[in-house]
Chains A and B, each alone.
Chain A
Amino acid sequence: MGNKLSPLSKAFLVLIFLILYAPIFFLVFYSFNSGGTMYDFKGFTMDWYKELFKDTRLLIIVLNTLVIALLSALIATVIGVIGAIGIRSFTSSKAKNTVLSLNNVLIVSPDVIIGASFLILFTMAGIKLGFYSVLLSHIAFSIPIVVLLVLPKLQEMSPTLIDAARDLGASRWDVLTKVVLPYILPGIFAGFFMALTYSLDDFAVTFFVTGNGFSTLSVEIYSLARRGISLNINALSTLLFVVTLLLVIVYYFITQRVRQTGMGGKR
Protein backbone atom coordinates (compact mmCIF):
# COMPACT_ATOMS: atom_id res chain seq x y z
CA MET A 1 0.00 0.00 0.00
CA GLY A 2 2.81 2.36 0.88
CA ASN A 3 4.36 2.34 -2.57
CA LYS A 4 4.54 5.74 -4.20
CA LEU A 5 2.79 6.61 -7.39
CA SER A 6 4.94 6.18 -10.46
CA PRO A 7 5.45 9.23 -12.68
CA LEU A 8 3.22 7.63 -15.31
CA SER A 9 0.37 7.22 -12.83
CA LYS A 10 0.79 10.79 -11.71
CA ALA A 11 0.66 11.98 -15.30
CA PHE A 12 -2.53 10.00 -15.82
CA LEU A 13 -4.22 11.56 -12.79
CA VAL A 14 -3.09 15.04 -13.82
CA LEU A 15 -4.54 14.45 -17.27
CA ILE A 16 -7.90 13.35 -15.82
CA PHE A 17 -8.09 16.40 -13.59
CA LEU A 18 -7.11 18.61 -16.50
CA ILE A 19 -9.88 17.22 -18.70
CA LEU A 20 -12.42 17.47 -15.90
CA TYR A 21 -11.67 21.09 -15.15
CA ALA A 22 -10.63 22.45 -18.55
CA PRO A 23 -14.17 23.12 -19.87
CA ILE A 24 -15.11 24.98 -16.71
CA PHE A 25 -12.05 27.22 -16.75
CA PHE A 26 -12.51 27.65 -20.47
CA LEU A 27 -15.96 29.14 -19.82
CA VAL A 28 -14.63 31.35 -17.04
CA PHE A 29 -11.71 32.58 -19.16
CA TYR A 30 -13.84 33.64 -22.13
CA SER A 31 -16.38 35.37 -19.92
CA PHE A 32 -13.78 38.18 -19.82
CA ASN A 33 -13.30 38.30 -23.60
CA SER A 34 -14.18 41.63 -25.16
CA GLY A 35 -14.26 39.92 -28.56
CA GLY A 36 -17.68 38.37 -28.01
CA THR A 37 -16.77 34.83 -29.11
CA MET A 38 -15.42 31.71 -27.43
CA TYR A 39 -12.23 31.83 -29.51
CA ASP A 40 -9.79 34.60 -30.26
CA PHE A 41 -9.31 36.41 -26.93
CA LYS A 42 -9.27 40.13 -27.80
CA GLY A 43 -8.94 41.77 -24.43
CA PHE A 44 -10.14 41.88 -20.86
CA THR A 45 -13.60 43.21 -20.15
CA MET A 46 -16.27 43.03 -17.46
CA ASP A 47 -19.00 44.05 -19.90
CA TRP A 48 -20.71 40.64 -19.91
CA TYR A 49 -21.11 40.77 -16.15
CA LYS A 50 -22.50 44.29 -16.33
CA GLU A 51 -24.92 43.21 -19.02
CA LEU A 52 -25.91 40.23 -16.91
CA PHE A 53 -26.86 42.40 -13.96
CA LYS A 54 -28.88 44.73 -16.21
CA ASP A 55 -30.90 41.83 -17.64
CA THR A 56 -33.94 41.91 -15.35
CA ARG A 57 -35.59 38.95 -17.07
CA LEU A 58 -32.59 36.77 -16.31
CA LEU A 59 -32.38 38.06 -12.74
CA ILE A 60 -36.01 37.10 -12.20
CA ILE A 61 -35.22 33.62 -13.50
CA VAL A 62 -32.28 33.36 -11.09
CA LEU A 63 -34.62 34.39 -8.28
CA ASN A 64 -37.21 31.80 -9.39
CA THR A 65 -34.55 29.11 -9.41
CA LEU A 66 -33.39 30.00 -5.90
CA VAL A 67 -36.92 30.18 -4.49
CA ILE A 68 -37.80 26.81 -6.02
CA ALA A 69 -34.56 25.26 -4.73
CA LEU A 70 -34.91 26.55 -1.16
CA LEU A 71 -38.64 25.84 -0.84
CA SER A 72 -38.46 22.39 -2.41
CA ALA A 73 -35.41 21.41 -0.34
CA LEU A 74 -37.11 22.57 2.86
CA ILE A 75 -40.38 20.73 2.22
CA ALA A 76 -38.62 17.62 0.88
CA THR A 77 -36.45 17.53 4.01
CA VAL A 78 -39.49 17.66 6.32
CA ILE A 79 -41.35 14.91 4.43
CA GLY A 80 -38.17 12.88 4.00
CA VAL A 81 -37.39 12.95 7.73
CA ILE A 82 -40.97 11.86 8.46
CA GLY A 83 -40.57 9.05 5.94
CA ALA A 84 -37.24 7.92 7.39
CA ILE A 85 -38.70 7.82 10.92
CA GLY A 86 -41.63 5.85 9.53
CA ILE A 87 -39.42 3.33 7.74
CA ARG A 88 -37.31 2.93 10.88
CA SER A 89 -40.40 2.14 12.96
CA PHE A 90 -41.39 -0.84 10.79
CA THR A 91 -40.90 -4.10 12.60
CA SER A 92 -41.14 -6.50 9.65
CA SER A 93 -38.17 -6.34 7.34
CA LYS A 94 -40.34 -7.27 4.36
CA ALA A 95 -42.51 -4.16 4.69
CA LYS A 96 -39.39 -2.10 5.26
CA ASN A 97 -37.76 -3.36 2.06
CA THR A 98 -40.92 -2.79 0.03
CA VAL A 99 -41.19 0.82 1.15
CA LEU A 100 -37.46 1.33 0.59
CA SER A 101 -37.71 0.01 -2.97
CA LEU A 102 -40.66 2.31 -3.64
CA ASN A 103 -38.64 5.13 -2.12
CA ASN A 104 -35.75 4.46 -4.50
CA VAL A 105 -37.82 4.33 -7.68
CA LEU A 106 -37.41 8.04 -8.36
CA ILE A 107 -33.66 7.89 -7.71
CA VAL A 108 -32.98 5.27 -10.37
CA SER A 109 -35.62 6.43 -12.86
CA PRO A 110 -34.26 8.38 -15.80
CA ASP A 111 -35.16 12.08 -15.71
CA VAL A 112 -37.12 11.78 -18.93
CA ILE A 113 -39.49 9.23 -17.41
CA ILE A 114 -39.98 11.32 -14.28
CA GLY A 115 -40.61 14.41 -16.38
CA ALA A 116 -43.02 12.73 -18.79
CA SER A 117 -45.01 10.95 -16.08
CA PHE A 118 -45.28 14.11 -13.97
CA LEU A 119 -46.47 15.99 -17.03
CA ILE A 120 -49.29 13.47 -17.43
CA LEU A 121 -50.01 13.62 -13.69
CA PHE A 122 -50.28 17.42 -13.57
CA THR A 123 -52.36 17.56 -16.72
CA MET A 124 -54.82 14.98 -15.39
CA ALA A 125 -54.97 16.62 -11.97
CA GLY A 126 -55.66 19.95 -13.64
CA ILE A 127 -52.63 21.69 -12.15
CA LYS A 128 -51.52 24.54 -14.40
CA LEU A 129 -47.94 24.13 -15.60
CA GLY A 130 -45.75 26.79 -14.03
CA PHE A 131 -44.38 27.62 -10.61
CA TYR A 132 -46.43 25.08 -8.65
CA SER A 133 -45.89 22.16 -11.01
CA VAL A 134 -42.13 22.77 -10.97
CA LEU A 135 -42.10 23.14 -7.18
CA LEU A 136 -44.11 19.94 -6.68
CA SER A 137 -41.84 17.95 -9.01
CA HIS A 138 -38.70 19.21 -7.29
CA ILE A 139 -40.12 18.26 -3.88
CA ALA A 140 -41.08 14.86 -5.27
CA PHE A 141 -37.69 13.91 -6.68
CA SER A 142 -35.76 15.27 -3.67
CA ILE A 143 -37.63 13.30 -0.99
CA PRO A 144 -35.98 9.89 -1.60
CA ILE A 145 -32.43 11.22 -1.29
CA VAL A 146 -33.30 12.89 2.03
CA VAL A 147 -34.71 9.57 3.28
CA LEU A 148 -31.55 7.75 2.21
CA LEU A 149 -29.29 10.25 3.99
CA VAL A 150 -31.32 10.41 7.21
CA LEU A 151 -32.05 6.69 7.58
CA PRO A 152 -28.47 5.55 8.40
CA LYS A 153 -28.28 8.15 11.18
CA LEU A 154 -31.55 6.84 12.63
CA GLN A 155 -30.33 3.29 12.39
CA GLU A 156 -27.09 4.00 14.19
CA MET A 157 -28.99 5.63 17.05
CA SER A 158 -29.28 3.22 19.95
CA PRO A 159 -32.93 2.40 20.86
CA THR A 160 -31.98 2.58 24.51
CA LEU A 161 -31.75 6.36 24.13
CA ILE A 162 -35.46 6.52 23.38
CA ASP A 163 -36.29 4.05 26.14
CA ALA A 164 -34.31 6.12 28.61
CA ALA A 165 -36.13 9.30 27.60
CA ARG A 166 -39.51 7.54 27.88
CA ASP A 167 -38.61 6.15 31.32
CA LEU A 168 -37.70 9.62 32.47
CA GLY A 169 -41.19 10.75 31.57
CA ALA A 170 -40.69 12.40 28.18
CA SER A 171 -43.75 12.57 25.95
CA ARG A 172 -43.60 11.22 22.39
CA TRP A 173 -43.26 14.74 21.10
CA ASP A 174 -40.41 15.47 23.52
CA VAL A 175 -38.63 12.29 22.47
CA LEU A 176 -38.89 13.37 18.85
CA THR A 177 -37.81 17.00 19.25
CA LYS A 178 -35.30 16.68 22.09
CA VAL A 179 -33.71 13.29 21.46
CA VAL A 180 -34.25 11.98 17.94
CA LEU A 181 -34.03 15.16 15.86
CA PRO A 182 -30.87 16.55 17.50
CA TYR A 183 -29.21 13.17 17.05
CA ILE A 184 -29.98 12.90 13.33
CA LEU A 185 -29.35 16.60 12.63
CA PRO A 186 -26.18 15.99 10.55
CA GLY A 187 -28.17 13.61 8.34
CA ILE A 188 -30.92 16.20 8.00
CA PHE A 189 -28.40 18.85 6.97
CA ALA A 190 -26.82 16.54 4.42
CA GLY A 191 -30.28 15.71 3.06
CA PHE A 192 -31.29 19.35 2.80
CA PHE A 193 -28.06 20.19 1.04
CA MET A 194 -28.43 17.33 -1.43
CA ALA A 195 -32.04 18.31 -2.14
CA LEU A 196 -30.81 21.84 -2.80
CA THR A 197 -28.21 20.70 -5.33
CA TYR A 198 -30.69 18.30 -6.97
CA SER A 199 -33.10 21.15 -7.48
CA LEU A 200 -30.48 23.62 -8.73
CA ASP A 201 -29.05 21.02 -11.10
CA ASP A 202 -32.23 19.68 -12.57
CA PHE A 203 -32.93 20.32 -16.19
CA ALA A 204 -34.88 17.42 -17.71
CA VAL A 205 -37.77 17.18 -15.27
CA THR A 206 -38.23 20.94 -15.14
CA PHE A 207 -38.13 21.10 -18.92
CA PHE A 208 -41.17 18.82 -19.10
CA VAL A 209 -43.34 20.45 -16.44
CA THR A 210 -42.44 24.12 -16.81
CA GLY A 211 -44.92 25.19 -19.48
CA ASN A 212 -44.82 28.68 -20.92
CA GLY A 213 -44.04 31.78 -18.95
CA PHE A 214 -42.10 30.18 -16.12
CA SER A 215 -38.45 29.24 -16.43
CA THR A 216 -35.53 28.15 -14.30
CA LEU A 217 -31.86 28.76 -15.02
CA SER A 218 -31.20 25.35 -16.56
CA VAL A 219 -34.11 25.65 -18.96
CA GLU A 220 -33.10 29.20 -19.84
CA ILE A 221 -29.48 28.22 -20.50
CA TYR A 222 -30.74 25.41 -22.74
CA SER A 223 -32.80 27.73 -24.90
CA LEU A 224 -29.95 30.27 -25.03
CA ALA A 225 -27.42 27.59 -25.93
CA ARG A 226 -29.62 26.26 -28.72
CA ARG A 227 -29.41 29.70 -30.29
CA GLY A 228 -25.60 29.60 -30.11
CA ILE A 229 -22.79 31.24 -28.19
CA SER A 230 -23.47 34.24 -26.02
CA LEU A 231 -20.87 35.35 -23.53
CA ASN A 232 -23.60 36.30 -21.09
CA ILE A 233 -23.91 32.57 -20.42
CA ASN A 234 -20.16 32.45 -19.71
CA ALA A 235 -20.45 35.25 -17.18
CA LEU A 236 -23.42 33.49 -15.61
CA SER A 237 -21.58 30.18 -15.43
CA THR A 238 -18.61 31.83 -13.73
CA LEU A 239 -20.90 33.12 -11.03
CA LEU A 240 -22.60 29.74 -10.72
CA PHE A 241 -19.21 28.03 -10.49
CA VAL A 242 -18.22 30.28 -7.60
CA VAL A 243 -21.53 29.61 -5.83
CA THR A 244 -21.11 25.86 -6.36
CA LEU A 245 -17.59 25.97 -4.94
CA LEU A 246 -18.85 27.82 -1.87
CA LEU A 247 -21.59 25.21 -1.39
CA VAL A 248 -19.06 22.40 -1.74
CA ILE A 249 -16.80 23.99 0.87
CA VAL A 250 -19.75 24.37 3.27
CA TYR A 251 -20.76 20.76 2.64
CA TYR A 252 -17.19 19.58 3.16
CA PHE A 253 -17.03 21.26 6.55
CA ILE A 254 -20.42 19.88 7.59
CA THR A 255 -19.39 16.32 6.75
CA GLN A 256 -15.96 16.81 8.33
CA ARG A 257 -17.65 17.87 11.57
CA VAL A 258 -19.96 14.89 11.34
CA ARG A 259 -17.00 12.59 10.93
CA GLN A 260 -15.20 14.25 13.83
CA THR A 261 -18.08 13.93 16.25
CA GLY A 262 -18.80 10.47 14.89
CA MET A 263 -15.34 9.16 15.68
CA GLY A 264 -14.91 11.21 18.80
CA GLY A 265 -11.39 12.29 17.94
CA LYS A 266 -9.60 15.07 16.17
CA ARG A 267 -9.57 14.96 12.37
Chain B
Amino acid sequence: MRNNLSKNIFFIPYVLWIALFVIAPILLILYYSFFDIEGNLSLVNYQKFFTPVYLKMTLSSFWYAFLITGISLLVAYPTAFLLTKTKHKQLWLLLIIVPSWINLLLKAYAFIGIFGTYGVANGFLEVIGIGSQQILFTDFSFIFVSVYIFIPFMILPIFNALDKLNPTLMDAANDLGASRWMTFRRVIFPLTIDGVKTGCQVVFIPALSLFMLTRLIAGNRVITLGTAIEQHFLVTQDWGMGSTIAVFLIIIMFLIMFVTGNRKQGV
Protein backbone atom coordinates (compact mmCIF):
# COMPACT_ATOMS: atom_id res chain seq x y z
CA MET B 1 0.00 0.00 0.00
CA ARG B 2 2.72 2.42 1.06
CA ASN B 3 4.67 1.35 -1.94
CA ASN B 4 1.79 2.27 -4.21
CA LEU B 5 1.44 5.65 -2.58
CA SER B 6 5.07 6.65 -3.08
CA LYS B 7 4.81 5.42 -6.63
CA ASN B 8 1.81 7.63 -7.24
CA ILE B 9 3.49 10.69 -5.74
CA PHE B 10 6.41 10.10 -8.08
CA PHE B 11 4.13 10.36 -11.13
CA ILE B 12 2.34 13.52 -10.00
CA PRO B 13 4.30 15.89 -12.30
CA TYR B 14 3.35 13.95 -15.41
CA VAL B 15 -0.30 13.53 -14.40
CA LEU B 16 -0.44 17.23 -13.55
CA TRP B 17 0.92 18.02 -17.00
CA ILE B 18 -1.80 15.93 -18.68
CA ALA B 19 -4.52 17.58 -16.59
CA LEU B 20 -3.28 21.17 -16.94
CA PHE B 21 -1.81 21.29 -20.43
CA VAL B 22 -3.67 18.60 -22.36
CA ILE B 23 -7.19 18.30 -20.97
CA ALA B 24 -7.78 21.76 -19.51
CA PRO B 25 -6.85 23.72 -22.70
CA ILE B 26 -9.28 21.72 -24.84
CA LEU B 27 -12.07 22.23 -22.31
CA LEU B 28 -11.26 25.93 -22.10
CA ILE B 29 -11.47 26.29 -25.88
CA LEU B 30 -14.84 24.57 -25.83
CA TYR B 31 -16.01 26.76 -22.93
CA TYR B 32 -14.97 30.01 -24.61
CA SER B 33 -16.67 29.07 -27.87
CA PHE B 34 -20.04 29.64 -26.14
CA PHE B 35 -19.36 33.29 -25.35
CA ASP B 36 -19.94 36.20 -27.72
CA ILE B 37 -17.61 39.17 -27.92
CA GLU B 38 -19.34 40.95 -25.01
CA GLY B 39 -18.94 37.92 -22.76
CA ASN B 40 -22.55 36.73 -22.83
CA LEU B 41 -23.37 33.06 -23.00
CA SER B 42 -24.74 32.35 -26.48
CA LEU B 43 -24.53 30.19 -29.54
CA VAL B 44 -24.01 33.15 -31.84
CA ASN B 45 -20.46 32.03 -32.75
CA TYR B 46 -21.72 28.73 -34.05
CA GLN B 47 -24.40 30.52 -36.03
CA LYS B 48 -21.73 32.78 -37.47
CA PHE B 49 -19.55 29.83 -38.39
CA PHE B 50 -22.30 28.46 -40.62
CA THR B 51 -22.65 31.68 -42.60
CA PRO B 52 -21.23 31.72 -46.15
CA VAL B 53 -18.24 33.87 -45.12
CA TYR B 54 -16.83 31.31 -42.73
CA LEU B 55 -17.88 28.27 -44.73
CA LYS B 56 -16.14 29.68 -47.78
CA MET B 57 -13.03 30.29 -45.73
CA THR B 58 -13.11 26.74 -44.38
CA LEU B 59 -13.51 25.34 -47.87
CA SER B 60 -10.68 27.41 -49.32
CA SER B 61 -8.48 26.46 -46.37
CA PHE B 62 -9.25 22.81 -47.13
CA TRP B 63 -8.52 23.31 -50.81
CA TYR B 64 -5.10 24.83 -50.13
CA ALA B 65 -4.23 22.15 -47.59
CA PHE B 66 -5.33 19.51 -50.09
CA LEU B 67 -3.17 21.01 -52.86
CA ILE B 68 -0.16 21.33 -50.56
CA THR B 69 -0.51 17.73 -49.34
CA GLY B 70 -1.03 16.39 -52.86
CA ILE B 71 1.94 18.16 -54.39
CA SER B 72 4.14 17.21 -51.43
CA LEU B 73 3.17 13.57 -51.91
CA LEU B 74 3.87 13.69 -55.65
CA VAL B 75 7.36 15.04 -55.03
CA ALA B 76 8.13 13.12 -51.85
CA TYR B 77 7.24 9.61 -52.98
CA PRO B 78 9.72 9.38 -55.88
CA THR B 79 12.34 11.13 -53.77
CA ALA B 80 11.92 8.66 -50.92
CA PHE B 81 11.91 5.78 -53.39
CA LEU B 82 15.16 6.89 -55.03
CA LEU B 83 16.73 7.62 -51.65
CA THR B 84 16.25 4.01 -50.54
CA LYS B 85 18.30 2.97 -53.57
CA THR B 86 21.32 5.16 -52.82
CA LYS B 87 24.44 3.79 -51.21
CA HIS B 88 24.59 5.76 -47.96
CA LYS B 89 20.84 6.14 -47.63
CA GLN B 90 20.77 7.06 -43.92
CA LEU B 91 23.21 9.89 -44.56
CA TRP B 92 21.20 11.18 -47.54
CA LEU B 93 18.03 10.97 -45.49
CA LEU B 94 19.69 13.02 -42.76
CA LEU B 95 20.62 15.63 -45.37
CA ILE B 96 16.96 15.80 -46.41
CA ILE B 97 15.95 16.32 -42.78
CA VAL B 98 18.53 19.03 -42.00
CA PRO B 99 16.62 21.88 -43.73
CA SER B 100 13.56 21.05 -41.64
CA TRP B 101 15.59 21.90 -38.55
CA ILE B 102 16.38 25.37 -39.83
CA ASN B 103 14.03 27.86 -38.26
CA LEU B 104 10.83 28.10 -40.29
CA LEU B 105 10.85 31.89 -40.18
CA LEU B 106 14.27 32.06 -41.80
CA LYS B 107 13.15 29.88 -44.69
CA ALA B 108 10.09 32.04 -45.22
CA TYR B 109 12.30 35.10 -45.08
CA ALA B 110 14.64 33.63 -47.70
CA PHE B 111 11.71 33.27 -50.06
CA ILE B 112 10.74 36.90 -49.56
CA GLY B 113 14.14 37.69 -51.07
CA ILE B 114 14.01 35.04 -53.80
CA PHE B 115 10.48 35.83 -54.98
CA GLY B 116 10.78 39.61 -54.56
CA THR B 117 10.39 42.04 -57.45
CA TYR B 118 14.15 42.09 -58.13
CA GLY B 119 14.76 38.62 -56.73
CA VAL B 120 16.53 35.64 -58.24
CA ALA B 121 13.31 34.08 -59.52
CA ASN B 122 12.43 37.16 -61.53
CA GLY B 123 16.01 37.49 -62.74
CA PHE B 124 15.71 33.97 -64.11
CA LEU B 125 12.37 34.74 -65.78
CA GLU B 126 13.92 37.78 -67.48
CA VAL B 127 16.84 35.73 -68.79
CA ILE B 128 14.58 33.12 -70.38
CA GLY B 129 12.51 35.89 -71.89
CA ILE B 130 9.24 35.73 -69.95
CA GLY B 131 9.96 38.95 -68.14
CA SER B 132 9.44 40.03 -64.59
CA GLN B 133 6.28 38.84 -62.83
CA GLN B 134 4.57 39.42 -59.53
CA ILE B 135 5.51 36.21 -57.69
CA LEU B 136 5.44 37.14 -54.04
CA PHE B 137 1.93 37.49 -52.56
CA THR B 138 0.36 35.05 -55.03
CA ASP B 139 -1.19 31.62 -54.60
CA PHE B 140 1.79 30.12 -56.40
CA SER B 141 4.34 31.47 -53.93
CA PHE B 142 2.19 30.38 -50.98
CA ILE B 143 1.84 26.81 -52.22
CA PHE B 144 5.46 26.57 -53.34
CA VAL B 145 6.85 27.70 -49.98
CA SER B 146 4.41 25.51 -48.04
CA VAL B 147 5.37 22.45 -50.07
CA TYR B 148 9.03 23.35 -49.59
CA ILE B 149 8.55 23.44 -45.83
CA PHE B 150 6.49 20.24 -45.55
CA ILE B 151 8.43 18.00 -47.95
CA PRO B 152 10.89 16.56 -45.39
CA PHE B 153 7.97 15.58 -43.15
CA MET B 154 6.36 13.74 -46.04
CA ILE B 155 9.57 12.03 -47.16
CA LEU B 156 10.49 10.65 -43.73
CA PRO B 157 7.52 8.28 -43.10
CA ILE B 158 7.44 7.15 -46.74
CA PHE B 159 11.17 6.46 -46.66
CA ASN B 160 10.75 4.39 -43.50
CA ALA B 161 7.92 2.38 -45.05
CA LEU B 162 9.89 1.75 -48.27
CA ASP B 163 13.00 0.88 -46.32
CA LYS B 164 11.18 -1.89 -44.43
CA LEU B 165 9.96 -3.41 -47.69
CA ASN B 166 11.34 -6.85 -48.39
CA PRO B 167 13.26 -6.64 -51.71
CA THR B 168 12.49 -10.26 -52.56
CA LEU B 169 8.84 -9.22 -53.07
CA MET B 170 9.91 -7.05 -55.99
CA ASP B 171 11.97 -9.87 -57.42
CA ALA B 172 9.03 -12.22 -57.05
CA ALA B 173 6.69 -9.81 -58.83
CA ASN B 174 9.31 -9.40 -61.54
CA ASP B 175 9.75 -13.14 -61.96
CA LEU B 176 6.01 -13.60 -62.21
CA GLY B 177 6.01 -11.26 -65.19
CA ALA B 178 4.73 -8.04 -63.66
CA SER B 179 5.79 -4.88 -65.41
CA ARG B 180 7.54 -2.18 -63.39
CA TRP B 181 4.38 -0.09 -63.20
CA MET B 182 2.32 -3.09 -62.14
CA THR B 183 4.86 -4.01 -59.45
CA PHE B 184 4.62 -0.48 -58.14
CA ARG B 185 0.83 -0.29 -58.26
CA ARG B 186 0.05 -3.77 -56.94
CA VAL B 187 2.99 -4.48 -54.62
CA ILE B 188 5.07 -1.49 -53.55
CA PHE B 189 2.40 1.15 -53.12
CA PRO B 190 -0.10 -0.98 -51.13
CA LEU B 191 2.67 -2.09 -48.80
CA THR B 192 3.80 1.46 -48.12
CA ILE B 193 0.33 2.95 -47.79
CA ASP B 194 0.79 3.37 -44.03
CA GLY B 195 3.79 5.59 -44.60
CA VAL B 196 1.81 7.63 -47.13
CA LYS B 197 -1.07 8.01 -44.67
CA THR B 198 1.23 9.15 -41.89
CA GLY B 199 2.89 11.60 -44.25
CA CYS B 200 -0.45 13.03 -45.36
CA GLN B 201 -1.55 13.36 -41.75
CA VAL B 202 1.56 15.25 -40.65
CA VAL B 203 1.27 17.60 -43.62
CA PHE B 204 -2.47 18.16 -43.94
CA ILE B 205 -3.24 19.18 -40.36
CA PRO B 206 -0.48 21.82 -40.10
CA ALA B 207 -1.32 23.00 -43.64
CA LEU B 208 -4.87 23.77 -42.50
CA SER B 209 -3.59 25.91 -39.69
CA LEU B 210 -0.69 27.79 -41.25
CA PHE B 211 -0.82 31.42 -40.35
CA MET B 212 2.66 32.86 -40.51
CA LEU B 213 3.22 32.00 -44.18
CA THR B 214 -0.13 33.45 -45.20
CA ARG B 215 1.04 36.79 -43.88
CA LEU B 216 4.66 36.80 -45.02
CA ILE B 217 4.40 34.98 -48.34
CA ALA B 218 0.76 35.23 -49.40
CA GLY B 219 0.38 38.81 -48.18
CA ASN B 220 -2.95 38.13 -46.40
CA ARG B 221 -4.55 37.00 -49.68
CA VAL B 222 -4.95 33.46 -48.43
CA ILE B 223 -6.95 33.02 -45.24
CA THR B 224 -6.67 29.61 -43.63
CA LEU B 225 -8.40 28.41 -40.47
CA GLY B 226 -5.14 29.12 -38.64
CA THR B 227 -5.02 32.71 -39.88
CA ALA B 228 -8.61 33.23 -38.79
CA ILE B 229 -7.93 31.90 -35.30
CA GLU B 230 -4.86 34.08 -34.92
CA GLN B 231 -6.79 37.09 -36.20
CA HIS B 232 -9.61 36.58 -33.69
CA PHE B 233 -7.34 35.97 -30.74
CA LEU B 234 -4.63 38.55 -31.26
CA VAL B 235 -6.13 41.26 -33.46
CA THR B 236 -9.89 41.60 -32.96
CA GLN B 237 -9.78 40.03 -29.46
CA ASP B 238 -12.93 38.05 -30.20
CA TRP B 239 -11.81 34.95 -28.32
CA GLY B 240 -15.22 33.33 -28.55
CA MET B 241 -15.25 33.24 -32.34
CA GLY B 242 -11.58 32.20 -32.41
CA SER B 243 -12.39 29.33 -30.05
CA THR B 244 -15.33 28.26 -32.19
CA ILE B 245 -13.10 27.97 -35.25
CA ALA B 246 -10.58 26.13 -33.09
CA VAL B 247 -13.30 23.68 -32.00
CA PHE B 248 -14.03 22.89 -35.63
CA LEU B 249 -10.32 22.57 -36.39
CA ILE B 250 -9.98 20.08 -33.51
CA ILE B 251 -12.95 18.09 -34.82
CA ILE B 252 -11.44 18.04 -38.31
CA MET B 253 -8.13 16.97 -36.82
CA PHE B 254 -9.70 13.99 -35.05
CA LEU B 255 -11.56 13.02 -38.22
CA ILE B 256 -8.35 13.08 -40.25
CA MET B 257 -6.52 11.06 -37.62
CA PHE B 258 -9.37 8.58 -37.64
CA VAL B 259 -9.31 8.27 -41.44
CA THR B 260 -5.52 8.03 -41.75
CA GLY B 261 -5.09 6.20 -38.47
CA ASN B 262 -3.13 2.97 -38.31
CA ARG B 263 -2.73 2.80 -34.58
CA LYS B 264 -2.45 -0.95 -34.30
CA GLN B 265 1.26 -1.24 -33.62
CA GLY B 266 1.33 1.86 -31.42
CA VAL B 267 3.51 4.80 -32.26
| Residues 117-164 of A contacting B (Cβ, < 8 Å) | 117-121, 124, 140, 143, 148
A1 within 8 A of B: yes
A30 to B112, CA, bound (A): 13
Chain A contacts of B246 at CB under 8 A?
112-113, 116-117
Number of B residues, CB within 8 Å of A: 81
| Given A83-B14, A110-B205, A203-B104, residue A118 in contact with residue B113 (CB < 8 A) | no
A80 to B10, CA, bound (A): 12
> Across the A-B interface, how many residue pairs have beta carbons closer than 8 Å?
222
Chain B contacts of A119 at CB under 8 A?
233
Contact B106 A252 (CB under 8 A): no
Residue in contact with A120 in the complex, picked from B32, B114, B116, CB distance below 8 Å? B32
**Scoring B residues 99 to 137 as 1 if CB is less than 8 Å from chain A, else 0, what string do you get?**
101111111111111101011100100000000000000
Q: Secondary structure of the B side of the interface?
A: helix
Besides A102-B22, A218-B104, 7 other CB < 8 A contacts?
Answer: A13-B79, A30-B113, A39-B120, A113-B29, A117-B29, A143-B14, A228-B112
- Taking the closest CB of chain B, its distance from the CB of A128, in whole angstroms, is 17
Chain A contacts of B45 at CB under 8 A?
none
Contact B86 A16 (CB under 8 A): no
Give the nearest-CB partner of B86 in chain A.
Answer: A5
A121 to B233, CA, bound (A): 13
Contact B243 A110 (CB under 8 A): no
A189 within 8 A of B: no
Q: Which of A19-27, A51-59, A179-187 contacts B (4 or more CB under 8 A)?
A: A19-27
A71 within 8 A of B: no
- Taking the closest CB of chain A, its distance from the CB of B220, in whole angstroms, is 11
Chain A contacts of B17 at CB under 8 A?
79, 83, 140, 143
- Taking the closest CB of chain B, its distance from the CB of A119, in whole angstroms, is 6
**Scoring A residues 1 to 43 as 1 if CB is less than 8 Å from chain B, else 0, what string do you get?**
1010100010011001101111110110010000001111000
Contact B85 A112 (CB under 8 A): no
Residue in contact with B99 in the complex, picked from A24, A102, A110, A120, CB distance below 8 Å? A24
Contact A200 B103 (CB under 8 A): yes
| Given A117-B28, A121-B24, A201-B104, residue A233 in contact with residue B230 (CB < 8 A) | no
B190 within 8 A of A: no
B37 within 8 A of A: no
| Given A39-B119, A225-B108, residue A5 in contact with residue B103 (CB < 8 A) | no
Give the nearest-CB partner of B119 in chain A.
Answer: A39
Chain B contacts of A203 at CB under 8 A?
103-105, 212
A218 to B212, CA, bound (A): 11
**Scoring B residues 227 to 240 as 1 if CB is less than 8 Å from chain A, else 0, what string do you get?**
00110011000010
A197 within 8 A of B: yes
A103 within 8 A of B: yes
Contact B233 A27 (CB under 8 A): no
Residue in contact with A17 in the complex, picked from B14, B95, B104, CB distance below 8 Å? B95
B11 within 8 A of A: yes
A82 within 8 A of B: yes
A19 to B72, CA, bound (A): 13
Contact A111 B206 (CB under 8 A): yes
